[in-house]
Amino acid sequence: MDLRFGDSEPTDEERAAVDALLGPPESSWEGAARDGTDAADLRWARGGREARDRRDLLLPGLHALNDRIGWISEGALDYLCRRLTVPPAQAYGVATFYAMFSVRPRPATVLHVCTDLACTAAGATDLSTDVEARLGPESGVRVERGPCLGLCERAPAALVIRAGDSARPACEGGTVQAVRGSGGAAPGDGKERRGRDTPRATAVCAPATPDAAVRAATAPENAPAEPAPALAVPQAGDPALTLLERVGTADPTSLDDYRAHGGYTALRRAFALGPAGVIREVTDAGLVGRGGAAFPTGRKWQATAAQPDHPHYLVCNADESEPGTFKDRVLMEGDPYALVEAMTIAAYATGAHKGYLYLRGEYPRALTRLTHAIAQARNRGLLGDDVLGQGYAFDIEIRRGAGAYICGEETALFNSIEGYRGEPRSKPPFPVEKGLFGKPTVENNVETLVNVLPILTMGAPAYAAIGTAASTGPKLYCVSGSVDRPGVYELPFGATLGELLTLAQVRAGLRAVLLGGAAGGFVRPDELDIPLTFEGTRQAGTTLGSGVVMAFDDTVPLPRLLLRIAEFFRDESCGQCVPCRVGTVRQEEALRRIADRTGAAAAGDIDLLREVGRAMRDASICGLGQTAWNAVESAIDRLGAYE
């Protein structure tokens, strides 16, 4: 293999960032300093096989450099590639795939301003313009407009990331904390854990004002942190809650408090039932995936458990990037031990001994909470070689994403963990047969996994009695936009859209409701009797998706909103397949042309949009291209957006 390294050399700080993750190099071949006595050392690739086996540390390595330096230079990338025996051309393709990385020089402080749907409706465009005007080049801050930050209930939102600085930026009304490390909690030989001391500071400002955003981005070192805001659960404390019962009532940092509120009761019952018994309970409960596809969870677990090939892997998909979605963030921040316990149960049932938690890079508070929860569970014997003294070994490693919507697709997520570009794979083979590292893998999102806890504590029949016959159990809904009480709501399947919006106190002048996020569809104000079930929304010609419910009043310009959706899909397309790569561009171009036109003047471009939309839906490899036309189509047909 000709790795074709360049002549650029890493700085001492760049070397230190990589070595903190991988340990010092053992030979000149993999990057040790050359002192004239290493001629024989360079004649063979000593340790090359071991280095290639660590390709999956490419993404953590890029995070280590980005966290320490703020960008990834050619010399730093070459050094990381030499350490991992990865061709630099491939690593460059990975580094440029993610929005949070930069291969060009930029300031150490970056202010990310969300300009997606909820934030745009709340004035994010004016916020961005104002902040950009105040923070000129001399400020040492880079302002970047970007997609959803998962803070839709507190729109408009901004995120400050400061590289190489352990100071905590100050922010008015936002969550502020210093976050260190690029790999999170990692089991194994300890090599992965070496990167946890990489300095990085973050500040979340939401709702953001120009003054607050500028102050957060330019705060001096050791500025005091503002207290974290209350979690976005308007129903907090309601005894009828199931999935959210501990959020806002139990201390999310305390394992003892979690156990005092019923924690680890489900895991003990799982060990009493055995793997087959757990799968039977989940199947009988009728649990289906909460990410939008609604695939039966028990069937997926059974298919993975039955595979003779080993090892098996468990992957928790916590990369919720759908605009308008933030329920998994609230669960991870407010009840992190529940996810740790649920992952342990899922792994036990499917025969996995290693779990990966793939976490959105834009969720610093969730990273802090989960890293702490995993460490505490490991210290107390709830993770590790002998979980609860049952002779079962399982541990969890956190892998941070870096800003790529497509990585929410399960096979793209696998590629990302393995150190490749996050592009979807063709199926079959399906993940239950050949998933992560080519081995049988079960993948579920956070909400799906957390549902397993009440199934085991209350029993499958009692759980199945909640909701409807075809959609069982409770469901979380992310309500944002033109409502007075935005946040995450828990209701049994079967509640109507109107009932949910009444709880959220929808404002007068409702123009439209977007269900399912950018990949979902719009409904009219006279359709609020739609039952919020998978089958009910299908019959109504829309989708429930991951539970996004975004209300827009008549002050929001609908054509501009549709254009923002098209811009989102164009930016987030991985470009692997032609229908999506070209179709998302053509869709945005057409919507830009007709943004201010209606009637006959827009008819030709609307016909083009329909043709392009059908091509993307029929021929795209994955769900991104297949759903990129949905919201636009529904706005044209149901709302008469261009009439």
State which CATH number among 3.10.20.600, 3.40.50.720, 3.50.50.60, 3.90.1150.10 fits the domain covering 474-553. 3.10.20.600
Contacts of 171 (CB under 8 A, 6+ apart): 160, 203, 204, 205, 212, 213, 215, 216, 219, 226
% of the chain exceeding 90 in pLDDT: 81
**186-219 pLDDT per residue, tens:** 443 333 333 344 467 899 999 999 999 999 999 8
Count CB neighbours of 581 within 10 A: 16
414 burial (CB, 10 Å; 0-12 / 13-18 / 19+) is buried
pLDDT, position 26: 79
Lowest mean pLDDT among 26-40, 175-189, 445-459: 175-189
Q: Tokens at residue 410, please?
A: 């399960």
State which CATH number among 3.40.50.150, 1.10.10.10, 3.40.630.10, 3.40.50.11540 fits the domain covering 255-464. 3.40.50.11540
% of the chain exceeding 70 in pLDDT: 88
pLDDT, position 182: 36
pLDDT, position 252: 96
309 burial (CB, 10 Å; 0-12 / 13-18 / 19+) is exposed
Query: What is the CATH architecture assignment of 109-218?
Result: 3-Layer(aba) Sandwich (3.40)
The full set of domain ranges for the chain reads 12-95, 109-218, 255-464, 474-553, 558-639
| Under 8 Å between Cβ of 292 and 119 | no
pLDDT tops 90 at residue 600: no
Distance separating alpha carbons of residues 587 and 542, to the nearest angstrom: 20
Query: Is domain 558-639 classified as CATH 2.60.40.180?
Result: no
What values do phi and psi take at 356, rounded to 5?
-115, 130
Q: In whole numbers, what is the pLDDT of the chain averaged over residues?
A: 89
Nearest in space to 424 (alpha carbons), one of 156, 620, 292: 620
pLDDT band at 291 (very low <50, low <70, confident <90, very high): confident
pLDDT tops 90 at residue 599: no
pLDDT tops 80 at residue 330: yes
In DSSP notation, 77-129 reads HHHHHHHHT--HHHHHHHHTTSTT--SS---SEEEEEE-SHHHHHTTHHHHHH
**532-576 pLDDT per residue, tens:** 999 999 999 999 999 999 999 999 889 999 999 999 999 999 999
pLDDT tops 90 at residue 86: yes
**332-387 pLDDT per residue, tens:** 999 999 999 999 999 999 999 999 999 999 999 999 999 999 999 999 999 999 99
Torsion of CA 27, 31, 37, 41, to 10 degrees: 40
**149-167 pLDDT per residue, tens:** 999 999 999 999 999 854 4
539 burial (CB, 10 Å; 0-12 / 13-18 / 19+) is exposed
Torsion of CA 371, 372, 376, 379, to 10 degrees: 60
pLDDT band at 226 (very low <50, low <70, confident <90, very high): low
pLDDT band at 267 (very low <50, low <70, confident <90, very high): very high
pLDDT band at 596 (very low <50, low <70, confident <90, very high): confident
Contacts of 616 (CB under 8 A, 6+ apart): 579, 580, 583, 584, 587, 625, 626, 628, 629
pLDDT, position 200: 77
pLDDT, position 293: 83
For range 132-141, the mean pLDDT = 90
pLDDT, position 8: 85
